[in-house]
Amino acid sequence: MGKIFYLVAITGLLLLTIGTTAIVRRVNRRSSSTLRQSESNSSRVLILPSLQAHGGRSDRSWTRFFTQGTLTFNQYLSNQSLRFERKVRLASDGAVVRYDRATLDITESYLLDGNSLVRTVTQQGNQRQAKTMDGAEAARIKSLIAACSLLPLLKRLSDPGTTVMYIARTSKGDQFEVKTDKGTWYCYANANHLIERLDGGEVSIRYGDYRTVGGVTLPYYQEVWKGETLLYDIKFDSFDLNPVFVRGFFKT
């Protein structure tokens, strides 16, 4: 009888230990999940002042816009640096984007619809060719589109699918790590929560000459650097944050 009681007691103790361990593991998993969610929410809260400082409240604030300006790029030779100008225009309507750049009487128009990129070349108003782009050439144009004004960046920051994490206060400003399906990069906000810099790999974009248009604060000047070399700068003439596009504007 004593042996039976002893075995029952030992079995009960083992079951209690196993049950307690399982409960602790379940609680730890829930706590870890809650902590990760809390950290994510905290990071989102930290980036909100920057979005609000620029005048937007959600990704819908940046889905339709039109901007134009002058892009000046540098060509470095052995003993001198030459600067050339191009007129640029960027238009967005939801997921569809059109990017134009013009030199003298030739205009290159790029239509980006999702991952599809088509280039159309016109000269003196006459269409000369249309071509679907891919590979490295398409990647280069997409990077130019993504870097044309602060609006594409604000659109990505506002996207619920973007992960934003506050890193630290640095000499460049408050640093945020931004992760999207396109990669990871870092942006920096000043004391007024305005984004002044974006770093991605070797390329850095620096913003300045902030003005308010339609309740939104945007930089009218930006520089694009690769390491210590200035690649090009853009001076924007205007921004339209609720444009009405003519029929066929986003057609090739």
Output the pTM of the full model: 0.77
> CB–CB of 90/238 below 8 Å?
no
Q: Where are the domains of the chain?
A: 52-89+137-240
Among 31, 33, 60, which residue's Cα sits nearest to residue 160?
A: 60
> CB–CB of 96/78 below 8 Å?
no
How far is residue 97's CA from residue 112's CA, in Å, rounded to a whole number? Answer: 5
- Each of the 252 residues of the chain gets a pLDDT tens digit; together they read 544 444 444 444 444 444 444 443 554 444 444 434 444 454 445 566 666 777 765 555 678 899 999 999 887 777 777 888 999 999 999 889 999 999 888 999 999 998 799 999 998 778 778 899 999 999 999 999 999 999 888 888 888 888 889 999 999 999 999 998 878 999 999 998 899 999 998 999 999 999 998 888 999 999 999 999 999 999 999 999 889 999 999 986
Close Cβ partners of 145 (under 8 Å, ≥ 6 residues apart): 90, 97, 99, 110, 112, 152
DSSP the chain: -HHHHHHHHHHHHHHHHHHHHHHHHHHHHHHHHHHHHHHHHHHHHHHHHHHHHHT--SGGGGSEEEEEEEEEEEEE-SS-EEEEEEEEEEEEETTEEEEEEEETTEEEEEEEETTEEEEEEEETTEEEEEEEE-HHHHHHHHHHHHTSSSHHHHHHHH-TT-EEEEEEEETTEEEEEEEETTEEEEEEE-TTS-EEEEEETTEEEEEEEEEEETTEEEEEEEEEEETTEEEEEEEEEEEESS--PPTTTT--
Q: What pLDDT score was predicted for residue 56?
A: 63
> CB–CB of 119/130 below 8 Å?
yes
Q: What pLDDT score was predicted for residue 61?
A: 61
Q: What pLDDT score was predicted for residue 117?
A: 95
Fold of the CATH domain 52-89+137-240: outer membrane lipoprotein receptor (LolB), chain A (2.50.20)
Among 221, 251, 243, 196, which residue's Cα sits nearest to residue 66?
A: 243
How far is residue 67's CA from residue 92's CA, in Å, rounded to a whole number? Answer: 9
Q: What pLDDT score was predicted for residue 133?
A: 92
The two tokens of residue 97 are 């984007």
How far is residue 196's CA from residue 185's CA, in Å, rounded to a whole number? Answer: 14
